[in-house]
Amino acid sequence: MRILGIDPALTITGYGVIDCNKNKLLLLEAGVIKTSTRQLMSQRLKIIYEGVTELIFQAKPDVMVLEKLYVHNHHPTTAYILGQARGVICLTSAEAKIPLIEYSATRVKKAIVGQGLASKYQVQRMVSGLFNLKQLPKYTDVTDALALAIAYSNIMKFKL
Protein backbone atom coordinates (compact mmCIF):
# COMPACT_ATOMS: atom_id res chain seq x y z
CA MET A 1 0.00 0.00 0.00
CA ARG A 2 1.30 3.46 -0.89
CA ILE A 3 0.63 6.13 1.73
CA LEU A 4 0.98 9.90 1.34
CA GLY A 5 1.33 11.80 4.60
CA ILE A 6 0.90 15.57 4.55
CA ASP A 7 1.65 18.06 7.31
CA PRO A 8 -0.33 21.08 6.14
CA ALA A 9 0.82 24.67 6.58
CA LEU A 10 0.72 27.83 4.56
CA THR A 11 4.46 28.54 4.38
CA ILE A 12 5.94 25.02 4.51
CA THR A 13 3.77 22.00 3.80
CA GLY A 14 5.65 18.79 4.50
CA TYR A 15 4.96 15.54 2.67
CA GLY A 16 6.17 11.97 2.75
CA VAL A 17 5.38 9.00 0.53
CA ILE A 18 5.97 5.50 1.83
CA ASP A 19 5.20 1.98 0.71
CA CYS A 20 3.95 -0.43 3.33
CA ASN A 21 4.35 -4.06 2.29
CA LYS A 22 3.68 -6.67 4.95
CA ASN A 23 5.77 -5.41 7.89
CA LYS A 24 8.25 -3.41 5.81
CA LEU A 25 8.19 0.34 5.32
CA LEU A 26 9.98 1.89 2.36
CA LEU A 27 10.56 5.63 2.07
CA LEU A 28 9.91 6.68 -1.52
CA GLU A 29 9.96 10.46 -1.34
CA ALA A 30 9.76 13.28 1.16
CA GLY A 31 10.01 17.03 0.95
CA VAL A 32 8.22 20.32 1.26
CA ILE A 33 5.99 22.62 -0.74
CA LYS A 34 6.99 26.21 0.06
CA THR A 35 5.23 29.51 -0.36
CA SER A 36 6.33 33.03 0.51
CA THR A 37 4.71 35.54 2.82
CA ARG A 38 5.27 38.08 0.03
CA GLN A 39 2.75 36.26 -2.16
CA LEU A 40 -0.98 36.87 -2.11
CA MET A 41 -3.03 34.30 -0.19
CA SER A 42 -4.66 33.12 -3.42
CA GLN A 43 -1.23 32.53 -5.00
CA ARG A 44 0.00 30.61 -1.97
CA LEU A 45 -3.05 28.35 -1.92
CA LYS A 46 -2.65 27.74 -5.65
CA ILE A 47 0.99 26.69 -5.14
CA ILE A 48 -0.06 24.20 -2.43
CA TYR A 49 -2.93 22.90 -4.56
CA GLU A 50 -0.73 22.43 -7.63
CA GLY A 51 2.10 20.92 -5.58
CA VAL A 52 -0.14 18.32 -3.93
CA THR A 53 -1.92 17.60 -7.23
CA GLU A 54 1.43 16.93 -8.92
CA LEU A 55 2.57 14.83 -5.97
CA ILE A 56 -0.56 12.68 -6.22
CA PHE A 57 -0.07 12.33 -9.99
CA GLN A 58 3.56 11.24 -9.58
CA ALA A 59 3.30 9.06 -6.45
CA LYS A 60 -0.13 7.49 -7.08
CA PRO A 61 -0.93 6.94 -3.38
CA ASP A 62 -3.67 4.58 -2.23
CA VAL A 63 -4.49 6.81 0.72
CA MET A 64 -3.70 10.32 1.99
CA VAL A 65 -3.19 11.04 5.69
CA LEU A 66 -3.56 14.56 7.03
CA GLU A 67 -3.14 16.02 10.49
CA LYS A 68 -6.39 17.19 12.08
CA LEU A 69 -6.73 20.86 12.73
CA TYR A 70 -5.99 21.84 16.30
CA VAL A 71 -7.46 25.19 17.32
CA HIS A 72 -5.88 27.01 20.23
CA ASN A 73 -8.21 29.66 21.60
CA HIS A 74 -5.35 32.17 21.87
CA HIS A 75 -4.49 31.87 18.15
CA PRO A 76 -7.74 31.71 16.13
CA THR A 77 -6.17 33.46 13.12
CA THR A 78 -3.56 30.74 12.81
CA ALA A 79 -6.29 28.09 12.69
CA TYR A 80 -8.17 30.08 10.07
CA ILE A 81 -5.09 30.35 7.84
CA LEU A 82 -4.15 26.71 8.34
CA GLY A 83 -7.73 25.72 7.53
CA GLN A 84 -7.41 27.30 4.10
CA ALA A 85 -4.28 25.28 3.33
CA ARG A 86 -5.98 22.10 4.59
CA GLY A 87 -9.00 22.89 2.43
CA VAL A 88 -7.07 22.88 -0.83
CA ILE A 89 -5.27 19.70 0.23
CA CYS A 90 -8.61 18.00 0.99
CA LEU A 91 -9.86 19.15 -2.42
CA THR A 92 -6.94 17.43 -4.18
CA SER A 93 -7.80 14.21 -2.37
CA ALA A 94 -11.44 14.43 -3.45
CA GLU A 95 -10.55 15.24 -7.05
CA ALA A 96 -8.15 12.30 -7.24
CA LYS A 97 -10.69 10.02 -5.49
CA ILE A 98 -8.13 9.07 -2.84
CA PRO A 99 -9.40 8.21 0.65
CA LEU A 100 -8.50 10.92 3.15
CA ILE A 101 -7.70 9.91 6.73
CA GLU A 102 -7.21 12.46 9.50
CA TYR A 103 -5.38 11.91 12.78
CA SER A 104 -4.76 14.22 15.70
CA ALA A 105 -1.16 15.00 16.61
CA THR A 106 -1.49 13.01 19.85
CA ARG A 107 -2.80 9.96 17.96
CA VAL A 108 0.18 10.10 15.62
CA LYS A 109 2.67 10.48 18.47
CA LYS A 110 1.11 7.51 20.27
CA ALA A 111 1.35 5.36 17.11
CA ILE A 112 4.98 6.37 16.48
CA VAL A 113 6.59 6.85 19.89
CA GLY A 114 4.13 5.08 22.17
CA GLN A 115 2.98 8.17 24.04
CA GLY A 116 0.66 10.92 22.86
CA LEU A 117 2.60 13.69 24.56
CA ALA A 118 5.94 12.88 22.93
CA SER A 119 8.06 15.81 21.77
CA LYS A 120 8.64 16.75 18.13
CA TYR A 121 12.26 15.72 18.61
CA GLN A 122 11.24 12.23 19.80
CA VAL A 123 9.02 11.84 16.71
CA GLN A 124 11.87 13.05 14.49
CA ARG A 125 14.30 10.55 16.00
CA MET A 126 11.86 7.65 15.68
CA VAL A 127 11.02 8.45 12.05
CA SER A 128 14.70 8.92 11.18
CA GLY A 129 15.54 5.62 12.86
CA LEU A 130 12.81 3.71 11.03
CA PHE A 131 14.20 4.81 7.68
CA ASN A 132 17.88 4.75 8.71
CA LEU A 133 18.32 8.40 7.77
CA LYS A 134 21.89 9.62 8.26
CA GLN A 135 20.69 13.04 9.44
CA LEU A 136 17.44 14.63 10.52
CA PRO A 137 15.55 16.40 7.72
CA LYS A 138 15.99 20.18 7.62
CA TYR A 139 12.27 20.75 8.26
CA THR A 140 10.28 19.06 11.02
CA ASP A 141 7.32 19.29 8.62
CA VAL A 142 8.89 16.43 6.63
CA THR A 143 9.22 14.09 9.61
CA ASP A 144 5.72 15.09 10.77
CA ALA A 145 4.35 14.11 7.35
CA LEU A 146 6.25 10.82 7.40
CA ALA A 147 4.98 10.20 10.94
CA LEU A 148 1.41 10.58 9.67
CA ALA A 149 2.04 7.95 6.97
CA ILE A 150 3.77 5.58 9.41
CA ALA A 151 0.98 6.05 11.96
CA TYR A 152 -1.58 5.03 9.36
CA SER A 153 0.36 1.85 8.53
CA ASN A 154 0.76 1.01 12.24
CA ILE A 155 -2.90 1.66 13.05
CA MET A 156 -4.09 -0.36 10.03
CA LYS A 157 -2.01 -3.37 11.15
CA PHE A 158 -4.07 -3.57 14.32
CA LYS A 159 -7.38 -3.18 12.49
CA LEU A 160 -6.77 -6.09 10.14
Q: Looking at the predicted structure, is the pLDDT value of residue 160 above 60?
A: no
**pLDDT for res 120:** 87
What pLDDT, in 10s, does the model give residues 5-43? 999 999 999 999 999 987 799 999 999 999 999 999 999
Local confidence band at 158 (pLDDT 50, 70, 90 cut-offs): low
Q: Active site residue: 19, 50, 141, 144, which one?
A: 141
Taking CA atoms, 49 is separated from 5, 65, 95, 96, 127, in Å, by 15, 16, 11, 12, 26
DSSP string across 20-54? EETTEEEEEEEEEEE--TTS-HHHHHHHHHHHHHH
- Taken in order of first residue, the domains within the chain and their CATH numbers are 2-159 (3.30.420.10)
Contact (CB, 8 A) for 70 and 105: yes
Instruction: Please say if 7 is a catalytic residue.
Output: yes
Q: Looking at the predicted structure, is the pLDDT value of residue 73 above 80?
A: no
Instruction: Please say if 62 is a catalytic residue.
Output: no
Residues β-bridged to residue 33 = 13
CB atoms under 10 Å from CB of 57, counted, come to 10
Report DSSP state, residue 135: S
Instruction: Please say if 19 is a catalytic residue.
Output: no
**pLDDT for res 71:** 66
Q: Active site residue: 67, 95, 102, 144, which one?
A: 67
